[in-house]
């Protein structure tokens, strides 16, 4: 992926499997689902980040330790 990328609802990518595993979202597959968006929103709110930013980017992966 290029330096500026993000994944959002409806996208598919292998890294989504890792994010879903880390956040406990099922089914664990490569699809960015509404359930994953809700879990990311909650995780961001819990960590003092903007809960309206539901996308996965490099900073999100780093913050999740992935």
pLDDT tens digits, residue range 12-61? 999 999 999 999 999 999 999 999 999 999 999 999 988 888 899 888 89
Location of structure tokens 């539901």:
54
Q: Please answer whether residues 33 and 25 qualify as being in contact, where contact means their C-beta atoms are separated by less than 8 angstroms.
A: yes
What is the pTM for the complete model shown? 0.88
Q: Quote the crossing angle between the two packed helices 34-46 and 15-23, to the nearest 10°.
A: 60
């Amino acid at each position: 992926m290029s330096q500026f990328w993000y994944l959002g609802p409806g996208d598919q990518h292998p890294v989504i499997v890792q994010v879903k595993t880390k956040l406990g979202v099922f089914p664990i597959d490569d699809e960015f689902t509404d359930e994953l968006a809700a879990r990311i929103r909650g995780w961001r709110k819990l960590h003092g980040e903007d809960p309206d930013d539901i996308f996965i980017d490099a900073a999100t992966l780093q913050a999740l330790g992935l």
